[in-house]
Structure 1
């Protein structure tokens, strides 16, 4: 049987067994879209279903309990599902495991939407699951940003229904981040590629997150409530099937988490959004879709005091900080997109996509901080136990910002998809983008340490005290003022060929393509500059005709990242229009081994990769804010190994274990190689699901992440060649336990239960072991020794949450 097919449908196949592993013949298999099949004498079946919609498939046989499963498959996707029909016991209707051959060929990891909806976290969403994958590093549980194989947050592509979405520009702290753009309650498919992706995806250096929202096939309402907020999602379809729509509103309040941080004060972190995806089928050949999103994120913070204890048991040290002032930040985004699909025939699909993105962002704060650094009373029994009794350092800091950004992006794109034959597919696209950014940056910082005003690190006037009096001016430690009005016009295009063939008895797939990207930077006071890059890419996959189910893949090419506005702005806030596209040569070698263990299916995925980068734009990373030098004055490399074992460690559930090794270094101005800010050497991730055997409605999940520390423990103004201090290792464990009261497989006599299709209640423990992870360091000067102490800024502690989920 061919392992790849290019068609406007998908295939589900497998073997149906009873409890004793005997094949069952004459099983009736019926899809709610009308398709049907039955199993043969060997229990084998094959069912072709429509793609790009949610399809419910029911397996029934006389004397056995029915199994109902929902599939969300893409064009040409082939999935293996092997149900076990039981007689008298409770049937676990979860998909055993999906062997998704199309994704395997493309080097894509597919994640079940149900897993994303069930596995929550301090910042729930797709990103909470991504952090358990190899090669993906997230060291701030309140952030939706992630780095992949040594790249930074700006190097990741995110698509929703083939429409590119953007992240905010000014956000500097994970505390300020709101909800992820991706609404998990609306998701149909989640595909993720960590490198070596095809030309049909855009110009970034690291990864692609490809999301598909579902088109409803019935009417239902889903709600999720917790102590941190809630969501309400509704979907419907008209009687004639021409109109369908799904809409969702979400509300998030992180006060429960942020009020447990070391910095005490009044905090109001309120985030809300509304999102919809609508489809109208004018004819069988012409469909019009609309994707809309409105998001408002407000973060108001009035800090009061903070105490951080660090040092050793023999020499404990504490930092006490007293604050005055407040921070007011607000991020509003408005996004709308129309997508028209014209199905000319079974082989040709033409698409026209138009979208607009508008971001209004502001950061206003005036915060005055006075600190004491001193020795801690460790005498057990004293009334002042834990108090600072002797000051070693005193000082103050005043920070001020009035930052406003108004960004408006418009996109217009034509895409095409043509099946030359059952084994050959051609895709192409032409896209125009206009970006208009208006940015006012006013930010300064004054530091007083031990009674002396600290000058900026690059201050040119020498201080020869006490031998000569210092006559230079008092200067703020940081003083950034800029007013930028910048326009960027882009023309992008790609074409690619995908073909399936044979090589002897082996099946072979290859994909070749190229992208073109032309952009012009202009604006007030800016000398216009135009650049063009061409990015060739290729993939080759072979499935040997072996007894063992093996697949080998090699992918690579030249990947460019033309600069966005943030990459054009240097550390002083000035736009540098001559910044080049960062360039990276990728090579990825992959292997997938599917096998059975404990009579259940498993898969081991291994990938080795290398990236050689030139024209690198160096940057510093402060929490989640990236500050670029806006100069292509570095070269870099990254290499590593990613491994992931997933399968049914517990029958009826999917779990996985991940391991990643990474080394990435950069050479700035020819001074030699040093670790990059994302050099996270080792990564371990575990997502484990289980249930009580005699009570399958009582379920649990365990989400474990361990990352070694990254560089970033040095002051932001420091020369990275002088400071190579790493942050502490990141360790986190989240636990969730839930009880399913109602699900679709049960029949209930109680009247109130009949109103629900699904109903569950549970609780969650975030950071179960209360690990003190840090994201940055605060640097404080000792008045006596003149040395600086690195005081860690800790992330979220242990937090308990209660959750109620329902579907009507």
Structure 2
């Protein structure tokens, strides 16, 4: 009898406990702007239950009835709610009442299930010293262990030994194929319009694909539903304008960011001289003639959100960036044509580059714990390089040469975000994408008074379809064990060539103490897009290729293991990784000089393999308003191609053995603050010739190389400083004055090397660069 009573109690007790469980779900928003807050925390203060909101600010938490739930986010006052019944709620968090909120780190790394994920602090991004005084997302990532930006001053990404084209850069889930201005000196991503940035260098979740190195996932601001705001920034080389607000009885919000350069002002006197008839005619007969250079760039971000109901919203996003460069020269010279006569020479060369990206979609909470997103997206990148020259004697000789290439992306994507229970988050998604690549070359040579016409037009359209299905599940198996597991299934169809793939993804986190964890991850990725840099008139242009019957998709396996935690208020991370790459490609040097963008399989090296491995560690601490971070990377990255270097391994060009980064932020007084950053890197490899063949009357001389990347440049190091003064005017406008000093001690860092007659000449590009900017918010 007693046994039956005990069995009955054991059977009933779980039902009673289940009956005492309630579910809270809804959105967490900013009380100041009504924008959703991604990755805000929801904690059962009386138990061990906690969740984070997703990128839309949505959360779902199962907890014990009548428990007190704490909602919060760094920079906001915590909010408490009593869980007395199942309910849908919207939480509005209040911003802390302090002069300036500095948020240098968000979700603690040891709590994240995913390995290799970092949430980038916008406060540290905007206050950190930069190359020309502009906050730069891409350059800022180089302060993370395992990431370098390539050549000095350039905004490129090389992550754990991967190439610059092996990164997936997303704006609201849509790929951006080129993310730079000025040939790579400045990122085209305006920080003013960004709400959240997540960076993945390992442990990629299954929802991301077509990459082998990293994911940069950026979400744009949705706009302020409470008030209209404006921000104007005037800098040394650029100016920007940002505004956000609401329309239509606050059911619609918008956020608009515009930025432009004024490099043209530096050459304004020469341009005026070019336009002035008297000065122009006088200058034509001078040795150098009359000339000017023109460069301009701008970018624009626009996002509009319309709330169809409390559970549905319509989202529209638009991004565009443009670059224009021109180099013009005109002069008069003497030529012999039965006697000396004046001849006019007219020369013009330059490039144009454009990005367009657009999205329209609907996000819906279709039922409790089920979130549905549907998007139609478009992304397009194009570049055009040209050269024109005219020589006017008896005949007018017209010479034209131009190169034009594009890549376009069209996509429909549907994703379900499902929270069946508190410790389980299931994502299921489908995408159908189409890629189109169009390289185009045209050369046109004409004589005005003759019939000699030579026109060459080469064009090839390459189109591929890419259907994808993914399943991703993050499970908290216990209070100490969490797993993110997923699979990505895709087909890449380019004409008669098809590639199939199953890409498993796994990240495991084990809590070993209340404030530390061990993580491990394995990912397998395929990438069907390639980008190669091609030389045209001394300028580098980007050409995109699709995997086909001759060029196989890149494959990458990556294993990672790490230890994360907090000790005496110091947050630390230690990671080790190994990455294996296959089916790499590279341009053959002879064809780089051929100036033809139509790339065939016989013009590139194929079947390359690579491997990268290393150790990464980072230590950071916040001392109230003072914060600092120190990171160190020890890594190796090598390549091997059957047709290069006698099929022997050689170092990757950005194989920096040791990399050290240090950053520091401190307030000076009530108005002033200072930021410092220091970087040290081992020298990059380069190829040094061992001899020279002088040639003869039939052959040009050329250098002889024993191996590729057989020497290294001297080490690179640099110190940057930023001083910022922030105050409020009598009209309650926030104002900021920023002085940025790049390369404080004017270090002549090595950029490249050339071989002379028994000597090696090392060249540097940039010295100290001071810039000033002024901001006003109203």
| 1:806 counterpart residue number | 776
* Alpha-carbon distance in 2 for matches of 1:632, 1:341: 43
* Alpha-carbon distance in 2 for matches of 1:271, 1:31: 33
> Matches of residues 151-166 of structure 1 in structure 2 within 5 Å?
151-166=162-177
| 2:710 counterpart residue number | 724
* Alpha-carbon distance in 2 for matches of 1:205, 1:256: 41
Aligned partner (choices 207, 223, 226) of residue 235 of structure 2: 226
Provide the secondary structure at the position in 2 that maps to 1:355.
Answer: strand
Asked if the contact 2:408/2:435 (under 8 Å) is kept, the reply is yes
The yes-or-no answer on 1:595 pairing with 2:567 is: yes
Provide the secondary structure at the position in 1 that maps to 2:618.
Answer: strand
| 1:644 counterpart residue number | 618
The yes-or-no answer on 1:754 pairing with 2:761 is: no
* Alpha-carbon distance in 2 for matches of 1:592, 1:99: 13
| 1:94 counterpart residue number | 102
Q: Rate the CA distance shift 1:325–1:776 in 2: closer, same or farther, 3 A.
A: farther
Gaps of 5+ in 1: 13-28, 36-41, 56-66, 74-80, 260-264, 305-323, 368-398, 445-479, 523-527, 743-751
* Alpha-carbon distance in 2 for matches of 1:769, 1:284: 56
| 1:532 counterpart residue number | 500
- 119-128 or 758-767, larger mean C-alpha shift: 119-128
* Alpha-carbon distance in 2 for matches of 1:72, 1:770: 46
| 1:250 counterpart residue number | 259
The yes-or-no answer on 1:634 pairing with 2:608 is: yes
Aligned partner (choices 549, 552, 556) of residue 580 of structure 1: 552
| 2:428 counterpart residue number | 428
Alpha carbon RMSD of aligned pairs, Å?
4.5
| 1:735 counterpart residue number | 721
Asked if the contact 1:414/1:431 (under 8 Å) is kept, the reply is yes
* Alpha-carbon distance in 1 for matches of 2:544, 2:168: 25
* Alpha-carbon distance in 2 for matches of 1:486, 1:72: 54
| 2:135 counterpart residue number | 124
Asked if the contact 2:299/2:319 (under 8 Å) is kept, the reply is yes
Q: Rate the CA distance shift 1:491–1:651 in 2: closer, same or farther, 3 A.
A: same
Residue 714 of structure 1 and its aligned partner are, at CA, apart by 5.4
| 2:437 counterpart residue number | 437
The yes-or-no answer on 1:104 pairing with 2:112 is: yes
The yes-or-no answer on 1:495 pairing with 2:471 is: yes
Q: Rate the CA distance shift 1:675–1:280 in 2: closer, same or farther, 3 A.
A: same
| 1:361 counterpart residue number | 383
* Alpha-carbon distance in 2 for matches of 1:199, 1:84: 36
Residue 103 of structure 1 and its aligned partner are, at CA, apart by 6.9
Higher helix share: 2
* Alpha-carbon distance in 2 for matches of 1:539, 1:488: 31
Residue 805 of structure 1 and its aligned partner are, at CA, apart by 1.5
Residue 167 of structure 1 and its aligned partner are, at CA, apart by 1.4
| 1:514 counterpart residue number | 487
Q: Rate the CA distance shift 1:700–1:204 in 2: closer, same or farther, 3 A.
A: same
| 2:406 counterpart residue number | 406
Q: Rate the CA distance shift 1:101–1:792 in 2: closer, same or farther, 3 A.
A: closer
* Alpha-carbon distance in 2 for matches of 1:402, 1:789: 37
Residue 440 of structure 1 and its aligned partner are, at CA, apart by 2.0
Residue 703 of structure 1 and its aligned partner are, at CA, apart by 2.2
Residue 254 of structure 1 and its aligned partner are, at CA, apart by 5.2
* Alpha-carbon distance in 2 for matches of 1:653, 1:239: 43
| 2:639 counterpart residue number | 666
Residue 214 of structure 1 and its aligned partner are, at CA, apart by 2.2
The yes-or-no answer on 1:268 pairing with 2:241 is: no
| 1:606 counterpart residue number | 574
The yes-or-no answer on 1:763 pairing with 2:768 is: no
Deviations 1:727-760 (A, max 9, x none): 4433222211111122xxxxxxxxx52241x211
Deviations 1:649-678 (A, max 9, x none): x53143311111110112222722211222
* Alpha-carbon distance in 2 for matches of 1:413, 1:11: 25
> TM-score scaled by structure 1?
0.69
* Alpha-carbon distance in 1 for matches of 2:175, 2:111: 20
Q: Rate the CA distance shift 1:187–1:134 in 2: closer, same or farther, 3 A.
A: same
Asked if the contact 1:137/1:707 (under 8 Å) is kept, the reply is no
The yes-or-no answer on 1:553 pairing with 2:512 is: no
* Alpha-carbon distance in 1 for matches of 2:53, 2:247: 19
Gaps of 5+ in 2: 1-21, 37-44, 59-72, 80-92, 269-290, 331-345, 390-398, 445-455, 536-540, 690-701
Aligned partner (choices 347, 351, 355) of residue 329 of structure 1: 351
Residue 589 of structure 1 and its aligned partner are, at CA, apart by 0.7
Deviations 1:36-67 (A, max 9, x none): xxxxxx99999999765799xxxxxxxxxxx9
Aligned partner (choices 764, 767, 773) of residue 797 of structure 1: 767
Aligned partner (choices 202, 209, 212) of residue 205 of structure 1: 212
The yes-or-no answer on 1:340 pairing with 2:340 is: no
| 1:137 counterpart residue number | 148
* Alpha-carbon distance in 2 for matches of 1:180, 1:239: 34
Q: Rate the CA distance shift 1:500–1:567 in 2: closer, same or farther, 3 A.
A: farther
Q: Rate the CA distance shift 1:334–1:616 in 2: closer, same or farther, 3 A.
A: closer
Provide the secondary structure at the position in 1 that maps to 2:480.
Answer: strand
| 2:89 counterpart residue number | none
* Alpha-carbon distance in 1 for matches of 2:759, 2:400: 24
Asked if the contact 1:196/1:555 (under 8 Å) is kept, the reply is yes
* Alpha-carbon distance in 2 for matches of 1:301, 1:344: 56
- 602-611 or 571-580, larger mean C-alpha shift: 571-580
Aligned partner (choices 313, 335, 343) of residue 287 of structure 1: 313
Deviations 1:497-553 (A, max 9, x none): 110021xxx51110111112322224xxxxx4221222111010011245xx11111
* Alpha-carbon distance in 2 for matches of 1:338, 1:239: 19
| 1:376 counterpart residue number | none
Residue 594 of structure 1 and its aligned partner are, at CA, apart by 1.1
The yes-or-no answer on 1:69 pairing with 2:59 is: no
> TM-score scaled by structure 2?
0.72
Provide the secondary structure at the position in 1 that maps to 2:748.
Answer: coil
Q: Rate the CA distance shift 1:179–1:432 in 2: closer, same or farther, 3 A.
A: farther
Deviations 1:302-351 (A, max 9, x none): 699xxxxxxxxxxxxxxxxxxx9664111022221112112112311111
Asked if the contact 2:380/2:407 (under 8 Å) is kept, the reply is yes
* Alpha-carbon distance in 1 for matches of 2:118, 2:730: 37
Q: Rate the CA distance shift 1:593–1:573 in 2: closer, same or farther, 3 A.
A: closer
| 1:150 counterpart residue number | 161
Q: Rate the CA distance shift 1:145–1:68 in 2: closer, same or farther, 3 A.
A: closer
Q: Rate the CA distance shift 1:143–1:718 in 2: closer, same or farther, 3 A.
A: farther
* Alpha-carbon distance in 2 for matches of 1:94, 1:634: 45
Asked if the contact 2:521/2:561 (under 8 Å) is kept, the reply is yes
The yes-or-no answer on 1:676 pairing with 2:652 is: yes
Asked if the contact 1:347/1:420 (under 8 Å) is kept, the reply is yes
Q: Rate the CA distance shift 1:338–1:541 in 2: closer, same or farther, 3 A.
A: same
Q: Rate the CA distance shift 1:576–1:407 in 2: closer, same or farther, 3 A.
A: closer
| 2:450 counterpart residue number | none
Q: Rate the CA distance shift 1:239–1:755 in 2: closer, same or farther, 3 A.
A: farther
The yes-or-no answer on 1:687 pairing with 2:693 is: no
Asked if the contact 2:35/2:223 (under 8 Å) is kept, the reply is no
Residue 228 of structure 1 and its aligned partner are, at CA, apart by 1.1
Q: Rate the CA distance shift 1:147–1:269 in 2: closer, same or farther, 3 A.
A: same
Residue 182 of structure 1 and its aligned partner are, at CA, apart by 2.7
Deviations 1:352-377 (A, max 9, x none): 1111123331112479xxxxxxxxxx
| 1:349 counterpart residue number | 371
